[in-house]
A and B are shown apart, each in its own frame.
Chain A
Amino acid sequence: AQTIHQWPVAEIKAVGSPLSLGCTIKGKSSPNLYWYWQATGGTLQQLFYSITVGQVESVVQLNLSASRPKDDQFILSTEKLLLSHSGFYLCAWSRGANTGQLYFGEGSKLTVL
């Protein structure tokens, strides 16, 4: 069975500080990977997706970056956090775009002060 793990579960960070959120998928080779963000009271907004190792496509520019250093790992980061980065970050995987079915992780809650 496939599992998806996100870390950390929650972070409280200062404006201007760096951030790194991680996501690991086990039990599925070459998954499509996604980062979603949900502002408090907002909708799920797709940030990035990756079809293969080393390739990441940006969907929305939020002064964030993403990388896929390994087949099973997806990293979301920034060097300088903004207040507007606060929210809930969800990593997801799918078998391919045509299926459209996403399997979400449990999320990371980020509070920027």
Chain B
Amino acid sequence: QQQVKQSPQSLIVQKGGISIINCAYENTAFDYFPWYQQFPGKGPALLIAIRPDVSEKKEGRFTISFNKSAKQFSLHIMDSQPGDSATYFCAASIATDKLIFGTGTRLQVFP
């Protein structure tokens, strides 16, 4: 019940396309859902986050869509660029404490 399931494992997108990564959770007590971006040899960096009282949050080309009833949330990267090539992790936490991470999605954007 503490798991966060992430898909797909890998994603190949052409430059300018839309990248979509999905996550699902079981524990309805989760109240904070961040996305982290990790480049090779670097630690994860917070990209964007959402709380369950809103259905969508947008920051630049990155959008989180949240479906509370389905217990799913997704990351959309609009106009994907080669510089977006990285591994993306969704996560969830209760009361901003321990983060439970998904298994990651390796995104490759080709020019």
* A and B together in one complex: no
Instruction: Please report A residues at the B interface, Cβ cutoff 8 Å.
Output: none
